[in-house]
Structure 1
Amino acid sequence: MKIEQIYTGCLAQGAYYISSNGEAAIIDPLRETKPYLDRLNQDKVTLKYIFETHFHADFVSGHLDLSQKTGAPIVFGPTAQPAFAAIIAEDHQVFTVGDVTLKVLHTPGHTMESSCYLLFDAAGKELALFSGDTLFLGDVGRPDLAQKAANMSQDDLAGLLYDSIYGKILPLPDSLTIYPAHGAGSACGKNMMQQTVDTLGNQKQVNYALKQPNKQAFIQAVTEGLLPPPAYFGMNVALNKKGYESLDKVLNQSLVGLDPETFAQRAESTNALLLDTRDAGDFAKGFIPQSINIGIKGDFAPWVGNLIADVNQPILLVTDPGQEEEVITRLSRVGFDHVLGYLKGGFESWLLAGKEMDTVNRITATTLVDQLSNTPKVIDVRKEGEYEAEHVAEAFSKPLAYINSWITDIDPKEHFYIHCAGGYRSMIAASILQARGYRNFSEVAGGYKALLEAGAPRTDFVCQSKTLGA
């Protein structure tokens, strides 16, 4: 028997490949099927089942394409109602894969159909639990995403989650290996650990949600401090439930190289968003006016989903040459299938064609530190938790995730400085600001880390001003 966790860092997502005696199962696959098909061919095994722990909100799963290419049936837990053919398992139903078996444990709470899969070896010993978004390492699945579909409050769902975890998971052996669907960085939880594999016994010791004295305490603990879910989550759920175009078709339609003139014409004649995926430093030195920078080398797909939100938004791409397919694939992972093409030859071809360009006023951390005695306005776009732990004295907390809300608080006549932890998020913010007509600011290269190294005063006191214009 072989168990392989296939972890995708930019999505903080774990898919699982299990093989035994000529057969295999895959749990929660990503949209691109090649990695799974390669493993099946290499191991000379037949894919028997594709298991889904629930209808995912943060990415588009590869269940449909994988089923079409292999003939393997898709399995969901009880109450799931997909718009395509699938096995809707009963609670405790057992599926055989080679010499091992997987038992369905219906664990509603994160969503109503949420289910875990308990793995037994050939001798019938419980080995592992593929816990989906029900149980994470250090956390549990957030209970606020399925309220509308379930016609229940988040407290009601949290109560179901308590019953699922305390009634079905905690009684299992402490030696059980826990394989969750996500790790730190995912918006599906609030307190996930960096590790991606652990034992149930250790989780009982370190996971706050597994140490609550009663149901009411659990409900309060898991619902406290939940941030609003990213706007694209509902659209991804719909795609996973109703179906989507095959990735092969999406790539074929999107991998269209456009010369600068054609690119410019298409940008002018459509409502396409210009998405530049180059490094923040390269973007700052020159970019096509009105472009939004979300670098491929960071948490690309989640930020695209969070900030662009509408998966039907047409997109024109500017990438480093050779990265076009990778970018389109990552966009497809979160449901953004409407790429109209990419700038052939990258931004360099735009310059060689004599086209207009824009820049961002990017400064060093030392330059800002030298200005701090003049009490400049400093905006910190890191997450609230990062800011509250420590920040530049007198800086305002304005998280990037909420830029569409706070951008109107800015006084365009007053100069300000903007930074994040290292420069990735602040350049995203800078590009959005300039696309909206705000130019009276400087973005700090290297972010908070560079500011500390440059000697910026720091504090954990929270600035109480309600608006940037105050």
Structure 2
Amino acid sequence: MTPDQVTARTDLQLLDIRETHEWNTGRIPGSRHIPMDEVPDRLGELDPGRPVLVICRSGRRADRISSWLGGRGYDARTLTGGIVQWQRDGGPLEQPEAVRPLTVEIIETPGLGNRSYLAHDGHMALVVDPQRDTDRIRTLLDQSGVRLSHVFETHVHNDYVTGGLELARSLEATYVLPAAEKVSFGRLGVADGEVLDVGSMRMRVVATPGHTHHHVSYLLTDTAGDEVAVFTGGSMLYGTTGRTDLLGPEHSEPLARSQYASVRRLATEAAATTRVLPTHGFGSFCAATPADGEHSTIGRERERNPALLLDEDAYVSQLLAGLSDVPAWYARMAPVNRAGPSPMDLTPPETAAPQDLRARIDAGEWVVDLRDHVAYARRHLPGSFSFELSASFLTHLGWLLPEGMPLTLVGETPEQVAEAQRELVRIGVDELAGAASGPIEAHAGKATLASLPRASYEELARARERTDVLVLDVRRAAEHADGVVHGSVPIPLHELLARRGELPLDRQIWVHCASGYRATVAASLLAAHGYDVVLVDGNLRTWLESGSAGVEASP
């Protein structure tokens, strides 16, 4: 199609799938920007009753998306030759100077399953629900050449120490919290319906109680009044909602009913094309059920969110039935955040010599090995605990570490130790007794390194028949629906320290989970207390799907 033909077609939807940096160099007037990898999650922004012209730089990416849309019933075609050919044919382009789009940066924290956000108009910036390690945000501000004006919190957080107060103070920005939240420091308290201007951006406060009593969401609009996004915190998540039991069981049902009304309000007041940008729901225990997807819009949530598909009683029943335990550190976060957290300190801990490590283990302190769990099983310091530095690290170490317990980290490199330290300060573990890095042999001194026997699920199937073997399943109760090993003893990992006495010392304990991570943690804890353990390492689901004998569905 020629530029004249395109501009003459008033029924066409112009879909530009280029990356943001390409889009900002110039775009066809009237085109909608959805980056290629976001199209599946933002499909609700397109009208299935109108033809779609897909645009990229040369046409190759557009061909793929056109074909994909066609397979879903859309009348889609490619702008032949893309933007390059469009310019050769004399087609008009709008430049960034003519249209200054708002930019929203996503700041991922996988260890907590959360996101923070930085939005700016090229001059002024705002931040929503920042984690404690705000150096990442400062870097983005510097790279974008913008000044921070406001820091917004959707609620007083129960799952991490906020960096919002310190960020606002250090950069002389306004710190915004729901007015009804009681805190011990100065801030700008906001209530439902209030509007705050940040440069050319506008944030409208929408009361969305449910995750907490005073939770709010923020609707972001540009100077033209167009809705860009809604920051939903722990209210509307992707295909689910925030949990409602963190303030105590007596509040669970009333808050669930508030959550139902809040999500429905967002779906009513915000446009279908408005991006939904939650804080929780990316592995966080603050989600009522596992979230679905990496992107969403109000329109898509209208089609799949249980709060928008079920009646109130059915939604409340489903939400309450799906709630499970939360990490132990959650109980400590809100008091810290209400008091005003201290600034983050990532000063490297003192180096621990081999004799220091041995003395700390002998004294009952925690020495945590950050290496791959297979490397730990092969060789480790006797009495040390395995918490492989991965996406699961913070959840499990934070959950099991006794409050106030001296903690020393052992890693392969100083960078690995530093990454673990950063994860820990996010939940208020600020002081490390020490750290050591390098080959594990260098930390043993004159002591002999220990090992953990590893076995496959096939070997477990044979060993479970022995009278001297006890099979320990450290998965969470909700996972048992996938299947259980006949005769296994279920003790979730987070309950193991309190229930260790239920396990006999005169039988060999074969420990399994779903992947080997939690089983290694459990095996290391038990071995340090004198148990004869075998680590069952492998993918349980694969074994279950093989139809192996000795497996049954959970009753």
TM-score, reference length from structure 1: 0.89
The structure showing larger relative contact order (alpha-carbon pairs under 8 Å, at least 6 residues apart) is 1
Q: Is 1:116 the counterpart of 2:233 in the alignment?
A: no
Q: CA RMSD in A?
A: 2.3
Q: Is 1:213 the counterpart of 2:311 in the alignment?
A: yes
Q: Is 1:155 the counterpart of 2:248 in the alignment?
A: no
* CA deviation after TM superposition for structure 1 residue 3, in Å: 0.8
What are the ranges of 5 or more consecutive residues in structure 2 without an aligned counterpart?
Answer: 1-101
Residue matched to 2:323: 226
Q: Is 1:281 the counterpart of 2:281 in the alignment?
A: no
* 1:36-435 correspondence runs (5 A): 36-147=137-248, 153-214=251-312, 216-248=313-345, 251-252=346-347, 254-267=348-361, 272-308=365-401, 310=403, 312-322=404-414, 323-345=416-438, 347-351=440-444, 353-371=445-463, 374=466, 377-435=470-528
Deviations 1:359-416 (Å, cap 9, x if unpaired)? 2222233432343565854322223233212334444433223223443321222223
In 1, are the aligned partners of 2:357 and 2:367 still within 8 Å (CA)? no
* Cα distance, 1:454–1:202 mapped onto 2, change above 3 Å: closer
Q: In structure 2, what is the Cα distance between the partners aligned to 1:71 and 1:194?
A: 37
Deviations 1:5-31 (Å, cap 9, x if unpaired)? 112222211111101140001111111
Q: In structure 2, what is the Cα distance between the partners aligned to 1:245 and 1:355?
A: 40
Tell me the amino acid that sits aligned with residue 438 of structure 1.
Answer: Y
Tell me the amino acid that sits aligned with residue 68 of structure 1.
Answer: R
* CA deviation after TM superposition for structure 1 residue 344, in Å: 4.6
* CA deviation after TM superposition for structure 1 residue 78, in Å: 2.8
Deviates further, 45-54 or 216-225 = 216-225
Q: In structure 1, what is the Cα distance between the partners aligned to 2:168 and 2:552?
A: 51
Q: In structure 1, what is the Cα distance between the partners aligned to 2:295 and 2:419?
A: 27
* CA deviation after TM superposition for structure 1 residue 80, in Å: 1.3
* CA deviation after TM superposition for structure 1 residue 305, in Å: 1.9
Deviates further, 331-340 or 448-457 = 448-457
Tell me the amino acid that sits aligned with residue 335 of structure 1.
Answer: G
Q: In structure 1, what is the Cα distance between the partners aligned to 2:359 and 2:509?
A: 35
Q: In structure 1, what is the Cα distance between the partners aligned to 2:280 and 2:294?
A: 8
Deviations 1:60-80 (Å, cap 9, x if unpaired)? 121133123311121111311
Deviations 1:406-465 (Å, cap 9, x if unpaired)? 4332122222321112211100111111223322x31112241564588733644326xx
In 2, are the aligned partners of 1:231 and 1:309 still within 8 Å (CA)? no
Q: In structure 1, what is the Cα distance between the partners aligned to 2:103 and 2:550?
A: 49
Residue matched to 2:107: 6
Q: In structure 1, what is the Cα distance between the partners aligned to 2:230 and 2:553?
A: 42
Deviations 1:77-127 (Å, cap 9, x if unpaired)? 131122222111121211112211111112112112211111112111222
Residue matched to 2:79: none
* CA deviation after TM superposition for structure 1 residue 266, in Å: 4.8
In 2, are the aligned partners of 1:139 and 1:207 still within 8 Å (CA)? yes
Q: In structure 2, what is the Cα distance between the partners aligned to 1:262 and 1:404?
A: 25
Secondary structure of 2:433 counterpart: strand
Residue matched to 1:437: 530
In 1, are the aligned partners of 2:110 and 2:391 still within 8 Å (CA)? no
Equivalent residues, number: 452
Q: In structure 2, what is the Cα distance between the partners aligned to 1:244 and 1:337?
A: 11
* Cα distance, 1:266–1:430 mapped onto 2, change above 3 Å: closer
Tell me the amino acid that sits aligned with residue 354 of structure 2.
Answer: P
* Cα distance, 1:454–1:139 mapped onto 2, change above 3 Å: closer
Tell me the amino acid that sits aligned with residue 254 of structure 2.
Answer: D
Residue matched to 1:17: 118
Q: In structure 2, what is the Cα distance between the partners aligned to 1:367 and 1:8?
A: 37
Tell me the amino acid that sits aligned with residue 388 of structure 1.
Answer: A
Secondary structure of 1:190 counterpart: coil
Q: In structure 1, what is the Cα distance between the partners aligned to 2:146 and 2:381?
A: 49
Tell me the amino acid that sits aligned with residue 449 of structure 2.
Answer: M
Tell me the amino acid that sits aligned with residue 126 of structure 1.
Answer: E
Secondary structure of 2:111 counterpart: helix
Larger Rg: 2
Tell me the amino acid that sits aligned with residue 335 of structure 2.
Answer: A
In 1, are the aligned partners of 2:126 and 2:148 still within 8 Å (CA)? yes
In 2, are the aligned partners of 1:392 and 1:457 still within 8 Å (CA)? no
Secondary structure of 1:443 counterpart: strand
Q: In structure 1, what is the Cα distance between the partners aligned to 2:221 and 2:259?
A: 24
Q: How much identity, in percent, do the aligned residues show?
A: 28
* CA deviation after TM superposition for structure 1 residue 132, in Å: 0.2
Deviates further, 174-183 or 341-350 = 341-350
Deviations 1:121-170 (Å, cap 9, x if unpaired)? 2111222111001111121111111238xxx5311222222232233444
In 1, are the aligned partners of 2:370 and 2:389 still within 8 Å (CA)? yes
Q: In structure 1, what is the Cα distance between the partners aligned to 2:494 and 2:326?
A: 10
* Cα distance, 1:200–1:364 mapped onto 2, change above 3 Å: same
* Cα distance, 1:428–1:194 mapped onto 2, change above 3 Å: farther
Tell me the amino acid that sits aligned with residue 33 of structure 1.
Answer: T
Secondary structure of 2:357 counterpart: helix
Deviates further, 24-33 or 221-230 = 221-230
In 2, are the aligned partners of 1:95 and 1:103 still within 8 Å (CA)? yes
Deviates further, 452-461 or 223-232 = 452-461
* CA deviation after TM superposition for structure 1 residue 318, in Å: 1.1
In 2, are the aligned partners of 1:183 and 1:196 still within 8 Å (CA)? no
In 2, are the aligned partners of 1:313 and 1:338 still within 8 Å (CA)? no
* CA deviation after TM superposition for structure 1 residue 291, in Å: 1.7
Q: In structure 1, what is the Cα distance between the partners aligned to 2:258 and 2:124?
A: 34
What are the ranges of 5 or more consecutive residues in structure 1 without an aligned counterpart?
Answer: 464-470
Q: In structure 1, what is the Cα distance between the partners aligned to 2:226 and 2:362?
A: 63
Q: In structure 2, what is the Cα distance between the partners aligned to 1:354 and 1:69?
A: 48
